[in-house]
Structure 1
């Protein structure tokens, strides 16, 4: 019997886990998947992450990687800091690498960490082989990490019903017997949680019921009283009520639905507040670069901390602080939103034990159709109506759940529509995405983002990845209007679209000048810093007075593939790759065990498959034209060297060269089934580009075959495998006079086959990437 209390007390001495925290740990460690509903501030982040720590401390067969997905970047930053601190305090026997990955904070784009905090669009796009923070050509590199991780999806009620909610449910349904997961929410209707539990065969733990709440000390004695207003937010009223807060500490938060509203209210408040008043004002929203938002978040967490009794501050914010950030206030002013969002917001008011707070709810500043965007009009109005009926009352957990169930009734039909979409949607999109990744499907499968990404820079040279720069999201409509306005005053270039090649050549990016009418969502654009800039306090500006964007740290950039490779022999390359394999196998050991069971492989068999794949994946580089395209000083046959001319493609050719020998290896040496041939073949072909389906003509000298016979004994662990390959070296196809269509040669179909492929291709590509980086570290 595992002592769960022992591990909690490592983080906080003498702490006894709450009843629901213990149940979550017991369920997940017992092989169950969990749907957890718990109120804000109840410690559900720790409840979901502790099973991972416990399992790995106890040496259990459990994923060595945790991917924690949330809807908000601010929540990612906050949770990352909190969990990192708690793990450090825990003094555990293992060292856990805690990382963070968002669109603006690209610190772990390859999901290399042990515990990765990320947004759901980052994790889901990675799971579907179209990661939004990587180029198309790297699309298959993170799927293996996702499929070998313990998955946590937090604040699940905020997932986009038209995309990410359905995609996540169907993905987890497909993987429920392969990966452990925990889905968490603070607010969800009875109808939806029951449908979710049935779909995923998951255990529901409801920590918001009286049975559990009595045990959660952070929920005891706190009180939030609701006051509804007929008018919209008013700066004078906000300042007046702020000054009426009793005591030395005065903390007010103003929550707006849109960035423009937050900017307006912030300016209006600043006009009313003098420095002599001692009131500090802060503004935070989604249009700040990560480093600046992080600075603001740190300041906010300090000023609105539970134990800060000396603050006099008004914070104006959008949804970016709606979930997860550990702060509290005396008063909250908020524009009305959907009940899910509203309950999350007020979690930043009177957040802690025995605190009392007031929540003032207003109509929105906007007018016209769809004035309540980004929220559904009907749901928002029903929420407002329900809150008006309890005007002046304390909003309890029980009353909150009643409002949720009332708002999401059959009349509103939102939950019913969501459940019907899940039930009626096919999960074939998963395998379709794996077979033919396409980022254009992002809107339908993950979320309907009406935004594009921008990089402000005077020049991004060809062959350098634009994904290596800081970026910012903006509405295409806003960008179009600003570009059109500036274009009237200048003939200079304003915007360039990033054009990415998707073939077997080295990375190539080009940049084509575009007009305002040609700006679309989900594209990446380069903006001229003479006309666009970035201000540390206000964000993006359109007068060229701000600064340009900086590159990401070298350690987190995509390879430039520029011509500066050091010379490396073929044997050195595959040997250096092999040295990277143990760590990659460790991180994916849970999935590897599933693969071995499914495909009847021993540990030695799996090692032989990995070694064979590494040995064969670059055989196409041994063709005469490829070798002649590089400068060779030391070695006869190289895998890397300074380039003299553009080399021919090699990935698909490698597969064609070794196909017959590969079949012998699987059928005769391993005595296994042909589907593994397809899996290895797909990994080899797609180790540079995901959608190759043809080989070019090539010629390899017989001297190459003799060279391989000499080096094989130095590479393969199993001498019997060396002898087997050397005896059948005549099966290598050394020439091809015309191009060949290979699309019918590769057939990966089932979930288990894809699991094997994605684990193998991650090992192959990251081993290649890490080994090559070490080779060229003086040049990077």
Structure 2
């Protein structure tokens, strides 16, 4: 039975009144309210398909974007149909955080079930509720993967692999994109080489399937020409009024981590964002050696997800004076430090990192951009980013001794103009041609649709299950029992029941690692008894040393 739910466009006003009634009347909160009201009063014309919400970091784009989408939904509903809202994000690390915000908003007015709000990605629990009734596994799977809700919170991978895909499981929800309102949050995360493809596919979606698109970001990439987008607010006003941080590019001097630490003094709470896990581990150990009295947070993807989430929560609670992280905190993770040190990266990534500095305008924040090198004199930045993006960033930054927040909008616009002058990637053009000619499978050289990967692996990886605690022991025992189930469909259904919890103990490591645990049930497995051989509870997986097992 088809179920639709009414959602009032005024529900966010009710939520804000309740959730922020005791909020202090600071200047930053004043700007958040101003942006919220301006976007909410934007004069919508249903003939316009592409909208942009470009605001500085920390100005409440999540709520403001939903406010606009609900208003647009109400306007469209007057023409005879009610669109669904599809809210897509690039990173799993911020899905839960923003899903909870949506959940809190809807709960202000409604007893929400799965027809109101769904969260869907590859690790989502297979559950679907209608009022107080829980559907059985098979029905829940069909309803969940078919996006049978008014609002769907999902990932870029789910969205774009449905738009640019050929697998039945992904295409099951394709029809839900017709007439929908799609919010693309943190849209700057889409790699430049796919701009041409994304522009083409979203334009077709809007013109042929009557879909509306809202792009949300603090650093608006030139996926579309500026004339094609409708700004929902006067963005210059907000960038101009904020002066929370000063960025100091220190690029003329290349430094090793050891040399940097010799000059560093931790006067205030400080966040360090570096480009590789090895750099993060080295920096963390150097800081521990220099400041043994300080409690230091450490965040990389070699820490199991369960522990990462715990540490991020503790950072928000102010339990650490120093934090060392890779890029995983640079977009969307709501942590705040008065001082940030960031290794050189493309300019949009630097600006996103600056968004972790003095978000709430409590005191003037400072971010230093460093030019870090490893022991062989090689830049860490060149190990993870396209060289030409780093070079363009450096050419812009060397003109400045310091950069104030009001200058950021002009700076990022100049950068994207430079990036956009580069010729489109040949694979992007080939992919567009494959979509137009329905070339789904074939030789890799012809770049069929089946070749498309929104996120490509930078190196071959293995997945490792870390038996970290008692819950992990229990889950591994369940997993081994599930593997014994002979019926393939029963086995898959049983695994789906534990997949979300099981994944909290899985990390990915390079296939070139020296320190390799045994393969058990087709998965690298670190038993609790051997935890110290393979996993450090502070810095995560031990790539070297320990016991070599084949």
Deviations 1:120-143 (A, max 9, x none): 12321233445xxxxx66343232
Structure 1 length-normalised TM: 0.52
User: Are residues 238 and 154 of structure 1, via their aligned partners in 2, closer, same or farther at CA, if it must alter by over 3 Å?
Assistant: farther
User: Which of the numbers 140, 158, 179 marks the counterpart of 2:211?
Assistant: 179
Contact 2:197 2:429 in 1 (8 A): no
Task: Tell me if the contact between 1:259 and 1:285 (Cα under 8 Å) persists in the aligned partners.
Answer: yes
Contiguous gaps of at least 5 residues in structure 1: 131-135, 246-250, 304-310, 488-492, 497-524, 547-780
CA deviations over 1:664-695 (Å, ceiling 9, x no partner): xxxxxxxxxxxxxxxxxxxxxxxxxxxxxxxx
Aligned residue in 1 for 2:236: 209
Structure 1 residue 264 corresponds to structure 2 residue 282 = yes
Cα gap change, 1:253/1:414 in structure 2, threshold over 3 Å: closer, same or farther? Answer: same
Q: Is the 8 A contact 1:255 1:316 kept in 2?
A: yes
Aligned-residue offset at 1:154? 1.6
Instruction: Give distance in 1, aligned partners of 2:226 and 2:428.
Output: 9
Within-5 A mapping of 1:606-645: none
Q: Is the 8 A contact 1:370 1:377 kept in 2?
A: no
Distance 1:155 1:161 in 2: 14
| Secondary structure, counterpart of 2:86 in structure 1 | strand
Tell me, yes or no, if structure 1 residue 46 matches structure 2 residue 63: yes
Structure-2 residue corresponding to 1:707: none
Q: CA deviation at 1:414?
A: 4.6
SS in structure 2 of the partner of residue 432 of structure 1 = coil
Aligned to 2:423: 417
- Give 1:360 deviation, angstroms: 1.5
How big is the shift at 1:454?
2.5
Q: Secondary structure at the match of 1:209?
A: helix
- Distance, in Å, in 2 between the alignment partners of 1:446 and 1:378 is 20
Where 2:57 maps in the other structure, the secondary structure is coil
Deviation of 1:334 after TM superposition, in Å, equals 0.8
Supply the RMSD in Å over aligned alpha carbons. 4.3
Aligned twin of 1:291? 306
Contact kept in structure 2, 1:65 and 1:150, CA below 8 Å: yes
Which residue number in structure 2 is paired with residue 169 of structure 1? 199
1:318 aligned to 326, 335, 339, which one? Answer: 326
> 1:25 touches 1:47 (CA, 8 Å); kept in 2?
no
SS at match of 1:162: helix
Aligned length: 471
Structure 2 equivalent of residue 306 of structure 1: none
Measure the CA separation in 1 of the matches of 2:368 and 2:88: 31
**Which of 391, 396, 410 matches 2:405?**
396
- Distance in 2, matches of 1:545 and 1:110, equals 46
- Once the 2 structures are TM-superposed, how far is the Cα of residue 494 of structure 1 from its aligned partner? 3.2
CA distance in 1, matches of 2:35, 2:155: 29
Distance 1:318 1:430 in 2: 39
Indicate yes or no: 2:383 matched with 1:373: yes
Instruction: Give 3-state SS (helix, strand or coil) of 2:271's partner.
Output: strand
Unaligned runs of 5+ in 2: 1-7, 22-29, 127-143, 466-478
Confirm or deny: 8 A CA contact 2:270 2:339 kept in the other structure.
yes
**Counterpart residue number, 2:130:** none
Decide whether the 8 Å contact of 1:329 with 1:349 is kept in 2. Answer: yes
**Deviation at residue 255 of structure 1 after TM alignment:** 0.3
Residue 420 of structure 2 is aligned to residue 384 of structure 1: no
Query: Of the candidates 255, 278, 281, which is equivalent to residue 232 of structure 1?
Result: 255
Higher Rg of the two aligned structures: 1
Partner of 2:267: 244
Determine the structure 1 residue equivalent to 2:17.
12
Partner of 2:100: 81
Separation of aligned partners in 2, 1:433 and 1:28: 38
Cα pair 1:228 1:387 within 8 Å, conserved:
no
Instruction: Write the distance in 2 (CA, Å) between the matches of 1:25 and 1:433.
Output: 44
1:527 to 517, 524, 528: 524
Q: Helix, strand or coil: the match of 1:264?
A: helix
Task: Give yes or no for the alignment of 1:122 onto 2:158.
Answer: yes
Change (3 A) 1:528 1:193: closer
SS in 1 for 2:369: strand
The answer (yes or no) to whether the contact 2:271–2:341 under 8 Å persists in 1 is: yes
Is the aligned partner of 1:494 residue 2:519? yes
Residue 281 of structure 1: how far off its partner (Å): 1.0
CA apart distance, 1:372: 1.8
Tell me which residue corresponds to 1:762: none
Alpha-carbon distance between aligned partners in 1 of 2:105 and 2:258, rounded to the nearest angstrom: 39
Q: Secondary structure at the match of 2:58?
A: coil
